[in-house]
Amino acid sequence: MAIHIFPAPKQCVFHPGTLSTDRPVRLSMAPSIRSSCLAAGCDPEEHLKSIFPAGLSADGIPVSVTSDPDIPDLPSDGFVLSIDADAIHIACRSGSGFFYAANVLYQLAAQGEQALPCLYMADWPALSIRGILLDIARDKIPTMETLCSLIDMFALMRLNHLQLYMEGFCYNYEEYRYLFTDETPLTPEEFQKLSAYAKARFIDLVPCQNVLGHMGKWLDKPQFHPLAECEDGYIFKNLYWRPPATLDVKNPESFRLVVSLLNALAERSDSRYLNVNMDEPFELGMGKNKAFAENYGRSELYLEYLSKIYGYCTEKKKTMMIWGDELLQHPEHVSRIPENIILLDWLYESEGHFKDHARLLQEMKRPFCLCPGTSCWASLTGRSDNMIANIEDAVACAIQYGGLGVITTDWGDMGHWQYQSASFPAFAYTAFLTWNGPSEDKSPAEWYCNRFIYKDSNERAFKAALDLGNYYRFEHAPLYSTTLAFAVMCSKYVFHSREEFSVKMEQMLAHSASIAKTNHIQPKENSIHIDYPAMQSYLETVALEIESLTLAGPDGALIKQEMKNGLRMVKHGIHLYYTMTELADDTELFQKEMKILYQDLNEILPIHFQCWTARNRLGGFSRSIKQINHLLTFYYNMSRGQKTEVH
């Protein structure tokens, strides 16, 4: 039987013989490595017990851990592992090196029959920051059990950086609890426990709080509405009206609010980083500060505010992280940006490339991370091919241009309808590529997911998950950061009549064209040419793939249910688009299809609720499905030849 190791090691030579795992072990450890483990909260002996069921004994198999690896300049996360027939030796420079070497033993033990293969292995990461950003701000907040299981998953993959993106009321800011009594937020105590849980697995849980744009939920409250730059909202890119979302940076009360939010997180974290985001302040300088922006420049507003936030971070002894949007649009202001701020550059389309920004950041001599995406949000089941190419491009450019690392983002825009398991392949690819670097052979990621995440002995689940996320290929729609199946169902393009549907589809295409232009993507024909027969055939093939899966893990049945209901939602979105575009002129047939759509969505919703509550807190669900309920009303009224009232 072939032996697999994930991520694929830099050096690995197998030797004849095996070492039995049914015997106890005896651990001897360099004091510096033991201290590093204990400082993180990792008990080395307990960690080994999970690999060797017989536990530890004074006369057990010797497992020696030294701090003198035979590879010069081995990074702190690197390790050298030797397995002989009667002993195991690990050489590393820190507790994380020991932790990752021990996890290799875990992988090997899971493949052998109470035996480890004899080998020499040396391994180290391509990037120092290997991370995931999970959006917990858009309605869906995972339970503690879910968050801990994700941390366990990430640790075994050798990811070492995690951010929980926060805006609105996803965190229990005790000072303002009276404003969001119906929410089920992450509490400060839970965040502190998660931080310790992650640290013991050598993952840095970084506080992540938006403090400039994306403040809409706060500004919607009458207590904070006066802090908006544009209290009456604004027209977004000449497409549609949006409610206020950006703070008035000249108002001292704006700064007082964000300091109170940041304090609530910083006090429960010992991470040296603090991500304050500061991205997409669309209205900045358009409202209350318009005169200032016209006289001194919009950038001056941003830079003055950044300086205040930087002062806060410095006082708290935190290294500040921000999204690089504003600086990359105005690189002439680089001298105004403190040199130790870490800039995060996002790009989510495989047709765009990180190269230009990465090269510019290198020339600016600014520390940076590149941030691709899982491509799961606003897509129901993902955009698999886009995700793979996007992450690989980020990793390649981060390595080539001296980036600190890659942080793959998993957003939850417009209701967070996608299920957690849709992101599992992206998590695996991030771990694989950030440790190994770009690779044509991605089979280790497939093997690992099938074996340790899906627990599929037939090794078909990973392919099914990728296929489930590739339906967008048959939409033949020039869309970015979304899919047609999702867009026709989501709140961004809500419609109340057949006529308004056509207007919203034009709006959707215009918005995607704007995204393409921003990301320097070649323009495409601004129309949709969906191949319905090919789409139907493809989705039926994927349905059969999913139905045939036997997933043995504790959440195997849930993963399969998530896949099946995700696929059903995709089919529903395509059915809706077909009905609105191809059948609208046949009143009788149109009304018949509206009845079918009503029944289908009404059956999807309770299963969606089951999948949601299996992993996530209840708060936010009713807000998330507001658009689903609108569609049900629309279908019902249309099936009876009535209009849907606009509210």
Q: What percentage of the chain reaches a pLDDT higher than 90?
A: 93
pLDDT band with cut points at 50, 70 and 90 for residue 2: confident
Which whole number is the average pLDDT over 357-385? 97
Give residue 215's pLDDT.
Answer: 98
Domains and CATH numbers, the chain: 11-123 (3.30.379.10), 129-453 (3.20.20.80), 471-639 (no CATH)
pLDDT above 50 for 502: yes
Q: What mean pLDDT value characterizes the chain? A: 96
**Cα dihedral 624, 627, 631, 633 sign:** positive
Q: Percent of the chain beyond pLDDT 70?
A: 99
Full-model pTM = 0.97
Q: Which residues contact 342 (CB under 8 A, 6 or more apart)?
A: 273, 319, 320, 321, 322, 367, 368, 369, 404
- How confident is the model at residue 644, as a pLDDT? 59
pLDDT value at position 50?
Answer: 82
pLDDT band for position 647 (cuts 50, 70, 90): very low
Lowest-pLDDT range, 109-113, 350-354, 525-529, 592-596? 109-113
In this prediction, residues 67-83 reach a mean pLDDT of 95
> Which of 149, 186, 628, 164 lies closest to 417, judged by CA?
628
The sheet with strand 87-92 has its strands ordered as 11-20, 115-123, 79-84, 87-92, 61-66, 25-29
- What SS3 class is residue 571? helix
Tell me the C-alpha distance between 97 and 95, whole Å.
5
Report the alpha-carbon distance of residue 387 to residue 633 in Å, rounded: 34
Q: How confident is the model at residue 238 (pLDDT cuts 50, 70, 90)?
A: confident
pLDDT band at 1 (very low <50, low <70, confident <90, very high): low
* Residue burial 431-470, b: 16+ Cβ < 10 Å; e: rest: bbbbbbbbbeebebbbbbbbbbbbbbeeebbbebbbbbbb
The pLDDT value recorded for residue 236 is: 87
Mean pLDDT in residue range 66-75: 93
> What distance in Å separates the CA atoms of residue 122 and residue 552, rounded to the nearest whole number?
32
**C-alpha–C-alpha distance, residues 401 and 394, integer Å:** 11
**What value does the mean pLDDT take over residues 263-289?**
96
Residue 55 CB neighbour total at 10 angstroms: 12
Residue 260 confidence (pLDDT) above 50: yes
What residues contact residue 573 under an 8 Å CB cut-off, 6+ apart? 380, 483, 484, 485, 486, 487, 488, 489
Give the C-alpha separation, 444 to 456, whole Å.
Answer: 15
What is the rounded average pLDDT of the residues 374-386?
Answer: 98
Chain segment 296-337, per-residue pLDDT in tens: 999 999 999 999 999 999 999 999 999 999 999 999 999 999
Give per-residue pLDDT as tens, 130-156: 999 999 999 999 999 999 999 999 999
Span 156-192, pLDDT tens digits = 999 999 999 999 999 999 999 999 999 999 999 999 9
Q: Which of the four pLDDT bands, split at 50, 70 and 90, describes residue 527?
A: very high
Beta bridge partners of 364: none
Asked if the bond preceding 44 is cis, omega within 30° of 0, the reply is: no
